[in-house]
């Protein structure tokens, strides 16, 4: 069982300022090969095994990403800010951002 909750806020645009861009997914309910692909992005991000430390301070106009990943009964809560996001995490954030935008554009 893997569940992911993604939230993106901040940025120069101030878009998503009052209403952060969010997306929630039960990974196991996704069809293949989407499911395996997303699981692999999580695995490659290294977030579950070596989460990066909280950033020291707010950077003007930086985007903030909040992730809650529940996997094998454990919940991992992470906050990441540009520009200190590890490169290995970027593909996962990008995938989740695209899903969030597609969902909001389609349903909101």
Partner 1 sequence: MVFHKCVCSYVPPYVIGSLARRGSVTERGQARITAQQGKLSREVRRDKPVKMHEILASAGAASAGAARAGAASVTAAAAGSAGREVWDSAHTWDQRKTLVRAEGAAATPDPDVNLVYDSAGVVRKFYKEQLDRNSIDNLGMNLVLNVHFGTNYMNAFWDGDEMTFGDGDGAIFTSFARSLDVIAHELAHGVTQFTANLDYNSQSGALNEHFSDVFGTAVTQFAENQEAGDADWLIGNEIMGPTLFGESLRSMMAPGTAYDNTLMGKDPQPAHMSNYYAGPADNQGVHINSGIPNRAFYLVATDIGTPRAAAVWYHALQNLWATANFADAVDVIVASARVLTQSGKAPLGTTQSVRSAFRDVGL
| Residues within the interface to partner 1 (CB under 8 A) | 9-20, 52-53, 55-63, 82-88, 90, 94, 98, 101, 104-105, 108
For 65, the token pair is 């990403």
Does residue 8 sit in helix, strand or coil?
strand
Q: State the minimum distance, in angstroms, from the CB of residue 28 to partner 1.
A: 27
Nearer to partner 1, 70 or 99 (CB): 99
Nearer to partner 1, 49 or 72 (CB): 49
Q: State the minimum distance, in angstroms, from the CB of residue 35 to partner 1.
A: 23
Nearest CA to 45 out of 54, 37, 34 is that of 37
Nearer to partner 1, 14 or 26 (CB): 14
DSSP label of 40: H
Q: State the minimum distance, in angstroms, from the CB of residue 107 to partner 1.
A: 9
For 53, the token pair is 């430390």
Distance CA 30, CA 21 (A): 21
Other Cβ atoms closer than 10 A to 100: 20
Nearer to partner 1, 26 or 90 (CB): 90
């Amino acid at each position: 069982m893997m569940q992911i909750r993604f939230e993106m806020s901040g940025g120069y645009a101030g878009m998503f300022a009052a209403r952060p861009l969010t997306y929630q997914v039960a990974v196991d309910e996704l069809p293949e090969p989407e499911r395996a692909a997303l699981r692999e992005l999580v695995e490659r991000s290294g977030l579950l095994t070596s989460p990066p430390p909280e950033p020291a301070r707010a950077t003007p106009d930086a985007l903030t990403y909040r992730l809650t990943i529940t996997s094998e009964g454990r919940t991992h809560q992470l906050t990441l800010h540009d520009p200190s996001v590890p490169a290995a995490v970027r593909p996962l954030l990008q995938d989740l951002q695209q899903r969030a935008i597609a969902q909001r554009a389609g349903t909101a």
